């Protein structure tokens, strides 16, 4: 049985969320931190129908999730493309189109290998990858705190209201589609499984955004990717820089976050078309690459993506739950 554990589910989803935060465009302020945190609380509340269902296992709903997972995977791939020019990837032509294509191609190839190894193997690897990433992020956070300038908190302004930040919070939570699908193959009680993920997400979001504000608050207006800039600016040592270490975390998280979408959509493809056994991961990845071209102009934290996340997390599970309870009642009457 291709079942995963609670920690594996949380690790896979947290890596996706962390990567979405790395690719966050626009300014981050304390309002953003509050909006994203409130968004996570709201998401947890909206996840109640999903928790009751124990994951999506309905054929009709699978079509929506397949499209959603492919779109989100495409967005992540697109964001990797856009962010990579801000992270020094050492290849002679890495700044040019061919260099970028090669880098994205390499990431896609590794994603294909990872997703074809199966969700179980990917889940196990995600736990280790998340642990390594957490250590690297902790170093960045500690060095950020050691150079803390309290004025940065007041200097940083996002120019968005709390409601807008709340929607932004949903927009960078594209992992809700994978949550709905992967929850169905996770061992243990759904409430515990989902709670662990959301608690982890809360801590991760708060740590990353607060570090970004504390380190890059003063230069927020001139930064395209505040989290990347924060990682580059925060240095724990006086005589040497460590921003290349962020490259490791970025590469690992990019690969795993896209691989999670690929593996989850390959799983959905398998559920929809049971006879389609071979090349499911390859087809999923190709669709994700196609989606990346299609969604080229859409920024990661746009409202439309936020709506998609709400539909994946709440609307579809709620409808499925209603249909399920109606069906059960009908069965009882008969």
Interface contacts to other proteins, rule CB under 8 A: 3, 5, 7-8, 89-91, 103, 106-107, 110, 113-114, 117-118, 120-122, 124-125, 127-129, 237, 239-245, 247-248, 251-252, 255-256
Between 239 and 334, CB nearer to other proteins: 239
Between 101 and 322, CB nearer to other proteins: 101
- Compute the least distance from the CB of residue 295 to other proteins, in Å: 24
- Compute the least distance from the CB of residue 152 to other proteins, in Å: 24
- Compute the least distance from the CB of residue 110 to other proteins, in Å: 5
Between 9 and 316, CB nearer to other proteins: 9
Between 45 and 128, CB nearer to other proteins: 128
Q: What is the CA radius of gyration of the chain?
A: 20
- Compute the least distance from the CB of residue 56 to other proteins, in Å: 23
- Compute the least distance from the CB of residue 65 to other proteins, in Å: 24
- Compute the least distance from the CB of residue 85 to other proteins, in Å: 13
Closest to 64 (Cα-Cα) out of 324, 317, 322, 325? 317
Between 2 and 325, CB nearer to other proteins: 2
Q: Could you tell me which residues come within 8 angstroms of residue 245 by beta carbon, excluding any fewer than 6 positions away?
A: 136, 139
């Amino acid at each position: 049985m291709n079942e995963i554990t609670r920690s594996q589910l949380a690790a896979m989803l947290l890596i996706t969320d962390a990567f979405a935060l790395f690719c966050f465009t626009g300014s981050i302020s304390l309002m953003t931190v509050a909006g994203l945190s409130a968004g996570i609380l709201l998401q947890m509340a909206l996840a109640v129908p999903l928790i009751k269902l124990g994951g999506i296992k309905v054929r009709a709903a699978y079509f929506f999730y397949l499209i959603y997972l492919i779109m989100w995977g495409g967005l992540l791939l697109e964001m990797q493309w856009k962010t990579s020019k801000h992270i020094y990837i050492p290849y002679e032509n890495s700044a040019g189109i061919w260099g970028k294509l090669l880098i994205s191609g390499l990431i896609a190839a590794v994603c294909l290998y990872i997703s074809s190894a199966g969700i179980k193997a990917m889940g196990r690897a995600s736990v280790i990858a998340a642990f390594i990433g957490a250590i690297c992020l902790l170093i960045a956070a500690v060095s950020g705190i050691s150079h803390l300038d309290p004025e940065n908190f007041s200097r940083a302004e996002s120019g968005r209201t709390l409601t807008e930040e709340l929607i932004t919070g949903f927009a960078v939570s594209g992992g809700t589609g994978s949550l709905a699908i992967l929850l169905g193959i996770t061992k243990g009680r759904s409430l515990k499984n989902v709670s662990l993920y959301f608690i982890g997400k809360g801590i991760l979001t708060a740590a990353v955004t607060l570090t970004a504000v504390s380190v890059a608050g003063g230069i927020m207006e001139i930064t395209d990717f505040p989290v990347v800039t924060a990682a580059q600016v925060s240095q724990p040592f006086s005589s040497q820089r460590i921003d290349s270490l962020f490259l490791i975390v970025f590469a690992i998280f990019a690969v795993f976050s896209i691989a999670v979408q690929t593996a989850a959509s390959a799983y959905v493809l398998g559920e929809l078309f049971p006879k389609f056994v071979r090349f499911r991961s390859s087809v999923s990845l190709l669709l994700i690459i196609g989606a990346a071209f299609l969604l080229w102009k859409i920024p990661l934290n746009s409202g439309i993506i936020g709506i998609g996340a709400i539909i994946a997390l709440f609307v579809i599970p709620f409808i499925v739950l209603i249909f399920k309870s109606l069906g059960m009642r009908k069965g009882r009457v008969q």
